[in-house]
Amino acid sequence: MFGKRIRLFKILGFEIRIDWSWFVILALVVWSLAGGVFPAELPGHTTGAYILMGLVAALAFFASIVVHELCHSLVARRYGLTMEGITLFIFGGVSEMAEEPPNPKTEFLMAVAGPISSFVIGFVAVALSVLADGPAKAAPVFVTLRWIGFINIVLGAMNLVPGYPLDGGRVLRSILWHFKGNLRWATRMASYAGEGFGLLLIALGAISILMGGGIGGMWDILIGWFLVTAARQGYQQVLVKQMLQGEPVQRIMTAEPVTVPPSLSLQDLVENYIYRYHFKMFPVVEGDRLAGCVTTRDVREVPRADWAMRTVGEAAGRCTDGAVIEAGADAMAALTKMARTGASRLMVVDGGRLLGIVSLKDLMAFLARKLELEGESPAGNGL
């Protein structure tokens, strides 16, 4: 979902990051507030004052989104789930879970925690602005506070729309999961609702543009497109996890992988292995023991004139944890490691012995066959 992210800080053990797209929405919110909202509510101030108010309000709004996501994450941690951090991006924020909730109760409590926090922030901010005496109500701080309160109430309400992956969609999924006892089916139904809501927003946005709505209509279309995409991806992720979890990686791996001995010259490695098999990495094996790994990068660091005289054992390095997986792991663990490290092949080991290699291609082929046998479409939803 995200490109390059910037790490901001850590709070309560959760890393807060921003995606580059966050700067786009920050600029748009400041521009909208400074150019329209605040001048209409509080006339007579300078452009600089409106920009400052807009910047303060926008940052406060994004701080409230962090609080919203923190509440999700705290509940998840309370029930033993691993959270990989919080990322702010163009459409708000997201708490990144490494795994699905273990039961409907946990899903429900996680889902409602965020909107509740938004409503609390919203009503408190509005109440403070309303309770201000006389002329103070028109002071920049109270006008800003009133907007922050209003936008948080809207945020809480929007998130309760029963369409996955919105919080309301997760509430719907938890209810369906509770009564049906089937997470995959519940996710499919909730994601259908999310796609439907997204398509409705796209249609409303198109109508708004045709009627002169301009920027507002474009935002409806963008948000609708994001919801449709996120709903489909959310279902696909659950589907993949359920298909691969519990499947032993030994069942999928290539049991007799191409290996090289430490005594092999780098010239032979290049000519007879790299150019023949097109792999970037080869396991170095002595007997049945994994002695190390040699990569194209290792070879490149040796002058070409020395390739015939240098051996694989001299150039090879220790295999990193990101390049190996234990034989007892399941296929989902292998896919997760590949996604985290960027590796396309993992060596399957057992007590230092190399048993085989599992590749991303192997995992995808196994997944495709299993989906086919169970009557599922790899593409996920489609209305």
Kindly list the distances between the CA atom of residue 360 and the CA atoms of 104, 185, 331, in Å, as whole numbers in the listed order.
32, 27, 10
Task: For residue 358, give the 3-state DSSP assignment.
Answer: strand
Beta bridge partners of 262: none
**Any idea which residue has 């890393």 for tokens?**
15
**Beta-sheet strand order (sheet of 324-326):** 281-286, 289-295, 353-359, 345-350, 324-326
Which tokens is 279 given? 């792999």
Residues 133, 28: Cα–Cα separation, whole Å: 32
Kindly list the distances between the CA atom of residue 204 and the CA atoms of 108, 198, 232, 336, in Å, as whole numbers in the listed order.
30, 10, 21, 38
301 is catalytic: no
- Residue 227, amino acid: L
**Any idea which residue has 């060596």 for tokens?**
347
Q: What is the CA 149 to chain-centroid distance, rounded? A: 28
Kindly list the distances between the CA atom of residue 378 and the CA atoms of 114, 221, 235, 239, in Å, as whole numbers in the listed order.
31, 26, 10, 9
Contact 348, 342 (CB under 8 A): no
41, 69, 99, 372: which is the annotated catalytic residue?
A: 69
Q: Report angle CA 174, 178, 179 to the nearest 5 degrees.
A: 125
Burial class (CB in 10 A: 0-12, 13-18, 19+), 303: exposed
Residues 6 or more apart whose Cβ sits within 8 Å of residue 161: 168, 169, 197
Active site amino acids: 69
